[in-house]
Amino acid sequence: MARLARKICAITGAASGIGRAAAVLFAKERARVIAVDVDAAGLESLDAEGGEIATRRLDVLDRDAVQAFAQQNGPVDVLFNCAGKVSTGSVLDCSLDDWRSSLDLNVTAIFYLTQALVPGMVAKGGGSIVNMASVISSLGAAPDRFAYGATKAAVIGMTKSVARDFAGEGIRCNAICPSAVDTPSMRARIDVMEDPEAAYELFSKRQPVGRMARPEEIAEMALYLASDASAFVTGSAMVIDGGTWA
């Protein structure tokens, strides 16, 4: 039995990593996926993945474009806000550009998408919003993740607020809080380190299970939260961390 049959699912950051794994998995579960990203080539390569995936080049930082996207596509059943970025460094290293760009992509873009798409969900009688947070957030800290942790804490705050305000309208809102996930952007961060092999080992061993998560494993949690299987789950920050926070 397909777990997302006939559901229209918008996924941001869908060209790469976790968002891409979610687009592929949701399509396998018979969703009608709208895969959103700024990376046109990455989106194009999704065509080969099969299933019903429509791709839209959209910069989620552009509020007018997000509003136009909501009007053009009509109501969705699921919004997975997955696009995000990692800035490194402590508070002393954090430039104003790092701070603002982290807030813009990790927080303000979720505000734009949620504000644009919730009215359609209300009109439809419900929906599920899944926001990408992190264990580095209000849950805990990691070295040199000042702006990142602050913005992911805000994601959990937004998630709980939306869950509280729209539970009566049938709209659920939950956050996913992974530890390290082996995605292209994670590899890119590791590759520029002094000793990439040692860094890969370190990132892997931070999880008591001894490895990073695979994007497909995070996509499974997104699928659960998107589907009706999680009908009683809202306002939750779901940790998926290989025992890191145990």
Catalytic residues: 148
Binder of ligand NAD out of 29, 37, 77, 241 (CB under 6 A): 37
184 binds ligand NAD (CB under 6 A): yes
Nearest-angstrom CA–CA distance, 170 and 37:
27
* Residue range at the interface with ligand NAD (CB under 6 A); choices 22-30, 81-89, 219-227, 231-239: 81-89
Shortest Cβ 148–ligand NAD spacing (Å): 7
* Residue range at the interface with ligand NAD (CB under 6 A); choices 9-17, 91-99, 113-121, 229-237: 9-17
Binder of ligand NAD out of 87, 134, 159, 236 (CB under 6 A): 134
Shortest Cβ 62–ligand NAD spacing (Å): 8
242 binds ligand NAD (CB under 6 A): no
One-letter-per-residue 3-state SS of the chain: CCCCCCCEEEEECCCCHHHHHHHHHHHHCCCEEEEEECCHHHHHHHHHHCCCEEEEECCCCCHHHHHHHHHHHCCCCEEEECCCCCCCECCCCCCHHHHHHHHHHHHHHHHHHHHHHHHHHHHHCCEEEEEECCCCCCCCCCCCEHHHHHHHHHHHHHHHHHHHHHHHHCEEEEEEEECCECCHHHHHHHHCCCCHHHHHHHHHHCCCCCCCECHHHHHHHHHHHHCHHHCCCCCCEEEECCCCCC
77 binds ligand NAD (CB under 6 A): no
Binder of ligand NAD out of 28, 30, 38, 63 (CB under 6 A): 38
Q: For the window 50-69, what string marks contact with ligand NAD as x by the rule CB under 6 A?
A: ---------xxx--------
Please give the structure tokens belonging to residue 199. 């860094």
15 binds ligand NAD (CB under 6 A): yes
Q: For the window 210-239, what string marks contact with ligand NAD as x by the rule CB under 6 A?
A: ------------------------------
Q: Which residues bind ligand NAD (CB under 6 A)?
A: 12-13, 15-19, 37-39, 42, 59-61, 82-84, 86, 105, 132, 134, 178, 180-181, 183-186
